[in-house]
Structure 1
Amino acid sequence: MLTHDAYQRVIHAYRCDDRRRGERMMRELIDDLTGPGRYKGCRELASLGRVLKRRMRDILALFRHPHSSNGPTEAINGRLETLRGNTMGFANTTSYIQRCLIHSSQLKDILTH
């Protein structure tokens, strides 16, 4: 029940039409999760509260900057993780670079050098 309540509060904050009110709702939730109160009995919510408190500046920035997204960053990170997986086991720098070029569709660069 406690986790459901916290979840619903997050949803309401992000769906709020008034960004200032949404930011205030999120700030209140973070304060509730980290301060003395009814969420202290649940370790998971206490942990969530600590993480939210630590990242509060970033979380609340969404309310001040509408249409913000970390999508492009996540897309690049996904490509890097895939590339890292594809290049595992290459101790030779030349082989590593070639595998990176192949993965990034730059095979022609290998053939022209």
Structure 2
Amino acid sequence: MAMDGFTGYKSATTEELPAARVVMDPFHVVHLAASKLDQCRQRVQQQVCGHRGRKDDPLYKIRRILHTRTELLTDKQKIRLFESLTSHDDHVAVEITHQIYQQLIAAYEHRHRREGKKLMYKILRRIRTGLPAGLAELAQLGRSLWNRRADILAYFDTGVSNGPVEAINGRLEHLRGIAQGFRNLDHYILRSLLHSGQLAERVNAL
């Protein structure tokens, strides 16, 4: 059974379905790592510049690039990423956290799940304890993931993921947002149908 990192869900599941195998969904593992990467970037930004990110600050300029797989970056983006991470000695914390983030994704994307599982275990073991000072966010991530290592590694044995459910939920949340500011139910229904593509052919035919 795939789920996010909230321990309450796991406790409830194991209590009601003791035979079920819990799998921590890859989306939530990567999302947690991404949030720690953001927190690290923001902390270092504040320490180095003394203010929140501005458009010309090196770390602020790469805030989106940091979340993109290295293989998908353009040459220009790779150069910007390198220059920003090496522009100050204190940026090394962001660089290391970014590397772990990329390694987690690579483990999930490995063409052979058995090898991906080995890579994932090595990553989790490497960051669980004993990290140098200045990597507080990565240390927090390491402790959190190590505590759920069995659930994380279970994905590589089962392949179970709630990705499709998350995708549907995302579309539903967006549709719910469409309702904000609308008082006419008929108008809301029409806009929802347009958004979901149900009226696309009729509209295009006009």
Normalising TM by the smaller chain, what interval?
Answer: 0.5 to 0.7
Partner of 2:162: 70
User: What residue in structure 1 maps to residue 139 of structure 2?
Assistant: 46
Which structure is higher in RCO with an 8 Å CA cutoff and minimum separation 6? 2
Asked if 2 retains the 8 angstrom alpha-carbon contact of 1:39 and 1:46, the reply is no
In structure 2, runs of 5+ residues without a counterpart are 1-94, 171-206
C-alpha displacement of 1:55: 0.9
Maintained 8 Å contact 1:19/1:63: yes
Contact (CA 8 Å) 2:131, 2:139: kept in 1 or not? Answer: no
Higher helix proportion (structure 1 or 2) = 1
Query: Does structure 2 retain, via aligned residues, the 8 Å contact 1:13–1:26?
Result: yes
**Deviation at residue 11 of structure 1 after TM alignment:** 1.1
| Cα distance between partner residues in 1 of 2:107 and 2:164 | 24
Residue in 2 that maps onto 1:2: 96
Q: Structure 1, unaligned stretches of length 5 or more?
A: 79-113
How many residue pairs match? The answer is: 101
Structure 1: which 4+ aligned runs deviate by more than 4 Å?
Answer: 37-40, 71-75
Q: What is the aligned counterpart of 1:17 among 83, 97, 111?
A: 111
User: In the aligned structure 2, how far is the partner of 1:27 from the partner of 1:19?
Assistant: 12
Hey, what's the Cα distance between the residues in 2 that align with 1:53 and 1:30?
6
- Contact (CA 8 Å) 2:103, 2:123: kept in 1 or not? yes
Identical aligned pairs, as a percentage?
45
Q: Quick check: 1:10–1:26 contact (8 Å CA) kept in 2? A: yes
TM-score (norm 1): 0.58
Preserved CA contact (<8 Å) 1:30 1:53:
yes
Q: Deviations over 1:61-109 (max 9, x none)?
A: 110012x11357769x99xxxxxxxxxxxxxxxxxxxxxxxxxxxxxxx
1:2 maps to a residue whose letter is I
Asked if the contact 2:107/2:116 (under 8 Å) is kept, the reply is yes
Do the aligned partners of residues 71 and 28 (structure 1) sit closer, same or farther apart at CA in structure 2, a change above 3 Å counting? same
- Secondary structure (helix, strand or coil) at the match of 2:111 reads coil
Distance in 2 of aligned mates of 1:16 and 1:38: 26
Relative to structure 1, the CA distance from residue 3 to residue 73 in structure 2 (aligned partners, 3 Å threshold; closer, same or farther) is same
Change (3 A) 1:40 1:14: farther
Superposition RMSD in Å: 3.6
- If the length of structure 2 is used for normalisation, what is the TM-score? 0.36
